[in-house]
Amino acid sequence: MRIILEGKTLELRAIWFEDKKKGIVSMIDQRLLPWKFEIFRSRSWRDTVLAIKEMIIRGAPSIGAAGAYAVAQAAIEYDGDLKKIRKATEEIKNARPTAHDLAQRVHQVINHVSSLSSTKDVVNEAIKEAERIANEYVEINKRIGQNGEKLIRDGMKILTHCNAGALAAVDLGTALAPIRLAHQRGKKIFVYCTETRPWLQGARLTAWELKMEGIPHALIADSAAAYLMWKGEIDMVIVGADRIASNGDVANKIGTYSLALAAKENGIPFYVAAPISTFDFSIRCGENIVIEERSALEVVMVRGWDRDSKKTKHIYITYEECTAVNPVFDITPSKLISGYITEYGIFKNVSELREFIEKKSFH
């Protein structure tokens, strides 16, 4: 992703292996953006688990890559001892329960090395597989962008929710990939990004990414989206996903369901952009997806930038003892979704996608 920092233009990913010998994984600290740019250096698989839990790294693909890197870190730390690595993977894959990519990518790395007899090979192959997974996400995102860009016409006004950009997907993004490509190809587009309470990923991260790319945009309160749809100010909605059930129900950032309902009422196409790895065909429907709940403090407090102290600051927005419920995701039923933008193309429903995958595997 393009990052303009102190007058210099950098190209960075959300997460990368900085030192393979020492097992150091670096990632952009997403808690501090857009006010402060810092790199968090994880020196162990436990640090990476903490980074996932504490939202230093977030977004299903980025979490998937982080999980893969964490297994590689465990392999380095334990000198290829598979018994110890497997024990670490249990903690790694449970760092956040809703995103499908995390557990899937952790299993992918451990399965890749499980049959190896040499401990040196276990370490080397774990590192290679983690890097391969991260690179694969970037290539997949490029294809998602190419497929989704075809839906975007010149002059369109597009709504996106939360952050499904480069920060959430190693690089380029899922929902933002078609938007980036449309802008690069000269299409005059405008993006509305929701603030996304309570972590404000839209306000802090998506708006920042759009600024870095020079894409015209405006931030709106979550509750303003339906009104703008009613006014005819929005032509399309594109969101990401953390897990998609076999019937097409989508788990995504809280507030997605409300947007889908409003889009349906106003005849606006609602697309979900996600790699195939986000589809969990072992789960029948949205009701079977575990929805993570986080601390009530995230709802009763808000974090922002204090210009005087030049530091982030938490303040209460209600009385201190107020109780709150904080589900991080919601479920959008498949009937509200116009299509799924994947690396293999755009599919109207999951049955169509599964049929494509089966034919592809057969050939």
Which residues have a catalytic role annotated? 242
**DSSP states along 53-111:** HTTSS-SHHHHHHHHHHHHHHHHHHTTT-HHHHHHHHHHHHTSSSS-HHHHHHHHHHHH
| 3-state SS assignment for residue 14 | coil
Whether the bond into 198 is cis, omega within 30 of 0:
yes
* Distance, CA of 200 to chain centre: 14
Contacts of 12-16 with C-beta under 8 Å, sequence gap 24+, read: 13/134, 13/138, 13/166, 13/170, 13/171, 14/57, 14/59, 14/62, 14/65, 14/166, 14/167, 14/168, 14/169, 14/170, 14/171, 15/57, 15/62, 15/65, 15/66, 15/69, 15/134, 15/170, 16/134
177: closest CA among 140, 225, 145? 145
